[in-house]
């Protein structure tokens, strides 16, 4: 049993000035954490108790499917060079030099370390499958750390890696993780949704994210309430209502129209009396590519066409151009490359690459929603002019069609056509079929049944330990503080004597706390000599799900039980208290 008077629980009335989200405000106010530097936090007593309980649950469930390791956080450069990620990670990676001048980095993920072990140690299919996991600090030099523990530079992660002889084996390891993650998040009391995720350009084939819907999140989840479709914004698709194409005018070929002073999609559409859905939106971007002959990095123009009312999804575009990042083209670049004023760029009259490998020409990517459309309106590559009767495939040849747009709320579910909803969410876990990327690039090989050397196939799987706590707080808070699900709360019950100067009140509170403690509950006795109001405020603030208030009614043999989430209160006889908590906190399964 713990006594509040002897503990360090520095609660605050005010939240930090820069705190915007509930978890940031309350973790600091409740004395769970303190900031050491931007995006770097110390975990104090209550915070560490919660984290230890979360880690306990994660470990118990992971031990059912894998083996726990503990890997170094300090990695040599050579290791990251061997996978090609030393340069890919850019400024997000913390880098340092040792006294001899050798380059090192702080681990942000550990595919390389795990694959290094597999490469050196695994020799035969008989040793597979393997699932190895660890719970350890990770480091990311975030450009804008914020939101308390939601976006930090040092954080705790459970990361695991699977090695299988073939894709069927990987399916099994992946499903094991999926199921273990569901058990972990269920036990942590979170309401979450499993969404299809973008597997990126890392050669992965399947990926799911575990998301908690909350306004504090920076990710967006698209979901259908009718069927179980759910995907993150970078992966989500929708069924579009067919658009009626315009009738051809003149001889049906592209026809210049004068559109003086009309620059935006909406302006042009209004001026011509058509819907933005009949207009092509043209975006000009640049992607940095390495010239295969000279090895030099050269910018390559990428032009994207979308339906006039659609928005570009950058992650989808990035995977369409081989995982590279794009940047908007400058007006001067547009004029120099296409001889077009920036606001009037269009696809006709430019020689586009026939496929992305044809490097001497610009790439033209056209969103799937424009495939099969006719008589659209596009820019004419000429100041104050647009073109009518523009038909993709007839008047210009795209380098490729691709899914490039972001879904919007209310569009139809791709499976069942019900309207889709979009919510912001926080990612708490991610499972990912890596495929052969690391085992191949780092040269891991095992002998298969026939004595032939094969490359093991890998998966990688992460859980953000801090994310579990922050998501739980975002889900369950009010103006006075938060309440945590008992399995991850720092204590399950706080026993609050209203007046420790009253001998009877004090001794009954002691007795109750002792009894609950002896029965195996995690109890905090608020034995401080403070006014009841102060104690109640603190109890409401720090996330403990139940409070037992010991006050004047002890003379009648009664205390009050308060459930923090609902503020439901009821009197309970002192003798029945332990039995009550057995029932609500340890129900027989």
Residues at the interface with Zn ion (CB under 5 A) = 224, 226-227, 229, 413, 415-416, 418
Q: How far is the CB of 413 from Zn ion (least distance, A)?
A: 3
DSSP 539: H
Give 42 or 415: the residue with its C-beta nearer to Zn ion: 415
Q: What are phi and psi of 132, to 5 degrees?
A: -115, 135
Positive or negative: CA dihedral 321, 325, 330, 336: negative
Minimum CB distance to Zn ion, residue 238 (Å): 10
Helix (H), strand (E), coil (C) string for 474-522: HHCEECCEEECCHHHCCCCEEEEECCCCCHHHHHHHHHHHHHHHHCCCC
- Tell how strand 493-497 and strand 546-550 pair up: parallel
Among candidates 185, 158, 222, which has minimal Cα distance to 471?
185
Q: Whole-angstrom Cα distance, residue 89 to residue 108?
A: 9
Query: What is the nearest approach in angstroms of Zn ion to the Cβ of residue 233?
Result: 16
The least distance separating Zn ion from the CB of residue 171, rounded to whole angstroms, comes to 25
Three-state secondary-structure class, residue 531: coil
Task: Tell the smallest beta-carbon distance from residue 409 to Zn ion (Å).
Answer: 14
Q: CA 474, 476, 479, 480: dihedral to nearest 10 degrees?
A: -120
CB nearer Zn ion, residue 106 or residue 231: 231
3-state DSSP assignment of residue 125: helix
For Zn ion, which is the closer residue by CB, 229 or 438? 229
CB of 404 to Zn ion, least distance (A): 22
As a 3-state breakdown, the chain gives helix, strand, coil percent values, each rounded to 5, of 30, 30, 40
Question: Which residues contact residue 308 at a Cβ distance below 8 angstroms, ignoring those fewer than 6 apart?
Answer: 265, 269, 275, 276, 277, 278, 279, 280, 281
For Zn ion, which is the closer residue by CB, 409 or 569?
409
Residues with Cβ within 8 Å of residue 96, at least 6 apart in sequence: 103, 104, 105, 106
CB of 414 to Zn ion, least distance (A): 7
Identify the DSSP state of 166: S
Q: Which is nearer to Zn ion, 11 or 417 (CB)?
A: 417
User: 454: Cβ–Cβ under 8 A, 6 or more apart, which residues?
Assistant: 125, 165, 445, 446, 447, 448
Residue 191 or 226: the one with the smaller Cβ distance to Zn ion is 226
- Phi, psi (rounded to 5 degrees) for 557: 80, 25
> Would you say 168 or 241 has its CB closer to Zn ion?
241
Q: For the CB of residue 421, give the shortest distance to Zn ion in the complex, in Å.
A: 10
Q: What is the smallest separation between the CB atom of 553 and Zn ion, expressed in angstroms?
A: 54
Question: How many CB atoms are closer than 10 A to CB 192?
Answer: 23
Longest dimension (CA), the chain: 100
Separation CA 345–CA 284 (nearest Å): 8
User: Smaller CB distance to Zn ion: residue 205 or 408?
Assistant: 408
Task: Please name every residue paired with 2 in a beta bridge, in sequence order, or none if there are none.
Answer: 524
Q: Which is nearer to Zn ion, 407 or 489 (CB)?
A: 407
Query: Rounded distance, CA 151 to CA 22, Å?
Result: 14
Least Å distance, CB 241 to Zn ion, is: 15
**Residue with the two structure tokens 């430019």:** 350
CB of 407 to Zn ion, least distance (A): 12
Closest distance to Zn ion from the beta carbon of 416 (Å): 3
With respect to Zn ion, which residue has the nearer C-beta, 154 or 223?
Answer: 223
Closest CA to 564 of 582, 542, 587: 542
**Between 411 and 466, CB nearer to Zn ion:** 411
Q: How far is CA 392 from CA 1, 305, 310, 379, 490, in A?
A: 73, 10, 17, 14, 61
Q: Minimum distance from CB of 209 to Zn ion (Å)?
A: 18
Residue number with CB closer to Zn ion (222 or 574): 222
| Residue whose pair of structure tokens reads 């795990």 in the numeric block | 114
Instruction: CB nearer to Zn ion: give 152 or 425.
Output: 425
> What is the rounded CA–CA span in Å between residue 569 and residue 553?
14
């Amino acid at each position: 049993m713990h006594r509040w008077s002897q503990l360090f629980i520095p609660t605050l009335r005010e939240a930090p000035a820069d705190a915007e989200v509930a978890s940031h405000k309350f973790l600091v106010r409740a004395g769970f954490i303190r900031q050491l530097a931007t995006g770097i936090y110390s975990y104090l007593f209550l915070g560490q108790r919660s984290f230890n309980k979360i880690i306990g649950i994660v470990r118990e469930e992971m031990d059912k499917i894998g083996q726990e390791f503990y890997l170094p956080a300090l990695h040599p450069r050579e290791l990251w060079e061997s996978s090609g990620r030393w340069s890919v990670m850019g400024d997000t990676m913390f880098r340092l030099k040792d006294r001899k001048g050798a380059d090192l980095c702080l681990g942000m993920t550990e595919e390389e370390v795990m694959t290094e072990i597999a490469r050196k140690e695994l020799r035969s299919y008989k040793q597979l499958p393997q699932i190895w996991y660890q719970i350890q600090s990770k480091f990311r030099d975030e450009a804008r750390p914020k939101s308390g523990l939601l976006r930090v530079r040092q954080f705790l992660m459970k990361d695991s890696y699977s090695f299988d002889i073939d894709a069927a084996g990987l399916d099994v390891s992946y499903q094991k993780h999926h199921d273990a993650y569901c058990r972990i998040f269920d036990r942590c009391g979170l309401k979450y949704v499993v969404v299809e995720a973008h597997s990126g350009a890392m050669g992965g084939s399947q990926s799911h994210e575990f998301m908690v819907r909350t306004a504090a999140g920076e990710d967006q989840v698209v979901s259908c309430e009718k069927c179980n479709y759910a995907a993150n914004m970078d992966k989500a698709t929708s069924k579009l209502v067919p658009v009626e194409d315009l009738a051809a005018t003149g001889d049906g070929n592209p026809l210049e129209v004068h559109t003086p002073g009309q620059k935006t999609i909406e302006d042009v559409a209004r001026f011509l009396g058509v819907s933005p859905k009949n207009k092509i939106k043209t975006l000009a971007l640049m992607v940095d590519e390495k010239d295969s002959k000279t090895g030099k990095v050269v910018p390559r123009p990428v032009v994207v066409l979308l339906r006039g009312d659609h928005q570009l999804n950058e992650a989808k575009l990035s995977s369409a151009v081989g995982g590279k990042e794009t940047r908007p083209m400058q007006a001067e670049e547009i004029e120099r490359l296409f001889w077009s004023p920036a606001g009037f760029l269009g696809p006709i009259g430019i020689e586009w690459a026939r496929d992305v490998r044809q490097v001497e020409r610009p790439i033209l990517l056209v969103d799937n929603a424009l495939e099969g459309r006719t008589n659209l309106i596009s820019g004419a590559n000429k100041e104050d002019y647009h073109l009518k009767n523009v038909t993709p495939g007839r008047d210009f040849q795209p380098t490729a069609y691709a899914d490039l747009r972001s879904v919007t709320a209310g569009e139809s579910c791709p499976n069942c056509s019900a309207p889709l909803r979009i919510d912001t969410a926080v990612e708490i876990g991610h499972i990912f079929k890596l495929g052969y990327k690391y085992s191949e690039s780092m040269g891991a090989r095992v002998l298969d049944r026939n004595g032939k050397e094969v490359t093991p196939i890998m998966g990688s799987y992460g859980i953000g330990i801090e994310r579990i706590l922050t998501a739980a707080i975002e889900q369950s808070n009010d103006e006075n503080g938060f309440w945590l699900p008992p399995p991850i709360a720092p204590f399950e019950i706080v026993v609050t004597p209203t007046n420790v100067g009253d001998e009877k009140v004090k001794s009954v509170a002691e007795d109750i706390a002792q009894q609950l403690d002896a029965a195996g509950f995690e109890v905090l006795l608020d034995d401080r000599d403070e006014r009841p109001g102060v104690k109640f405020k603190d109890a409401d603030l720090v996330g403990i799900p139940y409070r037992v208030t010991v006050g004047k009614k002890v003379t009648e043999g009664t205390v009050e039980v308060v459930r923090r989430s609902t503020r439901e209160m009821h009197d309970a006889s002192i003798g029945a208290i332990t039995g009550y908590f057995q029932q609500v906190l340890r129900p027989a399964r």
